[in-house]
Amino acid sequence: MSQAETVAELLKAGAGGAVAIAAPGRPPLTHGALRRHVQAVVERLNGLGIGRGDRVAIVLPNGPEMAVSFLAVAAGATTAPLNPAYREDEFEFYLSDLKARALIVMEGEAEAAVAVARRHGAAVLRLRVPEGAPAGLFELEAEGDAGPAPAARGGLAEAGDTALVLHTSGTTSRPKIVPLSQANICASAAGIAGTLRLKPDDRCLNIMPLFHIHGLMAATLSSMAAGASVCCTPGFNALRFFAWLEEARPTWYTAVPTMHQAILARAERNPQAVAAARLRFIRSSSSSLPPQVMKALEETFACPVIESYGMTEASHQMTSNPLPPAARKAGSVGIAAGPAVRVADQENAFLAAGEEGEVVISGPGVTRGYEANEEANAKSFFEAEGQRWFRTGDQGRLDEEGYLRLTGRLKEIINRGGEKVSPLEVDEVLMDHPSLRQVVTFAMPHEKLGEEVAAAVVLREGMSATEQEIRAFAATRLADFKVPRRILVLDEIPKGATGKLQRIGLAQKLGLG
């Protein structure tokens, strides 16, 4: 597989007549047609005065048009996907912070984003799908004009150009802009495709949001890098997942743990789709997968579950458990799979196998730094052994074989009167309780200790358990100071926009703050 350094080069991997983009109920788009369409979109943008280095915000629902818009804009400008569910004040923040020169929206939709774009003088490009068009093929109608395109910024992007800008999630502070170059995202896509041994006949069923790095890189760009295909659904829906599985016949899918758990909860009701599935593997990333869920998925779908570890600053993937016959270690996020991965102390000294510290990374997929944020860059990057290293903010340790086990997010470690508690450790114990389907352990404020351990849980269908029973179960496996003092039994645990469970701020959301 050639190591493309730009999106346009990467899109050359697929055979012209092979399927690239598919969608439920739509005719597919071939790799040849995709390349021609991407070139046409770049020329259309250039004609509107938008070229290399110009930021184009994309506010589209999940689906093939969103996937192809990402590829096309990234090929000739800078793409900035945003969550369509944002409110107007959120669009105001993101569009102004990004200094977007244009906005792509679906015809007749996203009026809140359009209103903000008009206020900021950005061109509004309305996307229209011609009747009967293959998945991902569209036309762009311009409402405004961004001005004539300087010739020097026209044409296809180069390796050092910024391809993608995303904001960090910013749960406790102002979100930071992460610029990722063409070379960054192409290196990551190649790394993911290599880890998963993707071939042209592989097909990914994408259920991840395409405004998030996981869906953009792991599902879409890695598939294109391998000359394979991706089936773009309207977004995650546990009720429709099994019908998509039968229609699309994917060889794999990638998701966050909460989605896997929702799929498992409905698997028994869809035995025919499960039996007919031709999944080569299942991938999990973006938050820790409980070993119990990994085991249940493997038993249900009779294929390996590959847990990976990614984040925006690394263009997604950093480590991954390998495919068989290599070892998959439940509870581990695998071995380095793209960037170099080490564990360091707070003085930037690298630690030996088995020692716990902060996970740090270096490599071609890693951003060179946050935009216009010297303070964050000084804290997050350091030089060692002739390389630039990024501090992930995650705590973990490497074993003798190079497998990484995360022990918590540094900001999420619970400090109970000086005693440190890893929420992941408590999660893993509680998930062994036969009545519990989902668990998230978090810090709640305490007047004397500063923080106390709490947990929110969801029961399995038809099962029951009281807070006292769950605490008693935990007490048989955990030191007393790690046992949650409060356990809330909920119908559903609040999740973020990408389906991840978020520990920070959960106490306030649940009225414990």
Residue position matching structure tokens 């259920």: 207
- The number of angstroms, rounded, from the C-alpha of 211 to the middle of its chain's C-alpha atoms is 9
The 10s digit of each residue's pLDDT in 15-69 is: 999 999 999 999 999 999 999 999 999 999 999 999 999 999 999 999 999 999 9
Mean pLDDT of 273-291: 94
The 10s digit of each residue's pLDDT in 361-386 is: 999 999 999 999 999 999 999 999 99
Confidence class of residue 301 from pLDDT cuts 50, 70 and 90? very high
Q: Percent of the chain scored above 70 by pLDDT?
A: 97
Q: Percent of the chain scored above 90 by pLDDT?
A: 85
CA dist., res. 488 & res. 474, Å (int): 14
Q: Give the CATH architecture of domain 28-180.
A: 3-Layer(aba) Sandwich (3.40)
CA dist., res. 60 & res. 257, Å (int): 24
What would you measure as the largest C-alpha separation in the chain, in angstroms?
70
Which pLDDT belongs to residue 409? 82
Reply yes or no on whether the pLDDT at 505 is more than 50: yes
Residue position matching structure tokens 């605490």: 471
Confidence class of residue 150 from pLDDT cuts 50, 70 and 90? low
Nearest to 95 by CA among 55, 143, 125: 55
Q: Residue 165: beta bridge partners?
A: 179
Which pLDDT belongs to residue 271? 96
Write out the two tokens for 23.
Answer: 């969608």
Question: With b meaning 16 or more CB within 10 Å and e meaning fewer, what string describes 228-261?
Answer: bbbbbbebbeeeebbebbebbebbbbbbbbbbbb
Residue spans of the domains in the chain: they are 28-180, 412-509
DSSP secondary structure letters along 42-58: HHHHHHTT--TT-EEEE
The 10s digit of each residue's pLDDT in 128-149 is: 999 999 999 999 999 855 555 5
Which pLDDT belongs to residue 448? 84
CA dist., res. 186 & res. 189, Å (int): 5
Report CA-CA distances (Å) from 338 to 220, 334, 365, 387.
17, 12, 7, 15
Q: What length is written for the chain?
A: 513
Q: Which residues contact 375 (CB under 8 A, 6 or more apart)?
A: none
- The number of angstroms, rounded, from the C-alpha of 434 to the middle of its chain's C-alpha atoms is 30
Which pLDDT belongs to residue 288? 85
Q: What are phi and psi of 258, to 5 degrees?
A: -60, -35
Which one has a higher pLDDT value, 170 or 324?
Answer: 324
Write out the two tokens for 421.
Answer: 């508690």
Reply yes or no on whether the pLDDT at 298 is more than 60: yes
User: Strands 305-311, 316-320: parallel, antiparallel or unpaired by DSSP?
Assistant: antiparallel
Which pLDDT belongs to residue 276? 95
Reply yes or no on whether the pLDDT at 283 is more than 80: yes
Confidence class of residue 2 from pLDDT cuts 50, 70 and 90? low
Reply yes or no on whether the pLDDT at 456 is more than 50: yes
The 10s digit of each residue's pLDDT in 350-362 is: 999 999 999 999 9
The 10s digit of each residue's pLDDT in 376-435 is: 999 999 999 999 999 999 999 999 999 999 988 888 889 888 888 888 889 989 999 999
DSSP secondary structure letters along 339-362: SEEEEE-TTSPBPPTT--EEEEEE
* Domain 412-509: homologous superfamily in CATH: ANL, C-terminal domain (3.30.300.30)
Which pLDDT belongs to residue 1? 45
The 10s digit of each residue's pLDDT in 319-342 is: 999 999 999 998 899 999 999 999
Which pLDDT belongs to residue 497? 76
Report CA-CA distances (Å) from 196 to 145, 217, 281, 317, 333.
43, 13, 9, 12, 14
Indicate the average pLDDT of the chain: 94
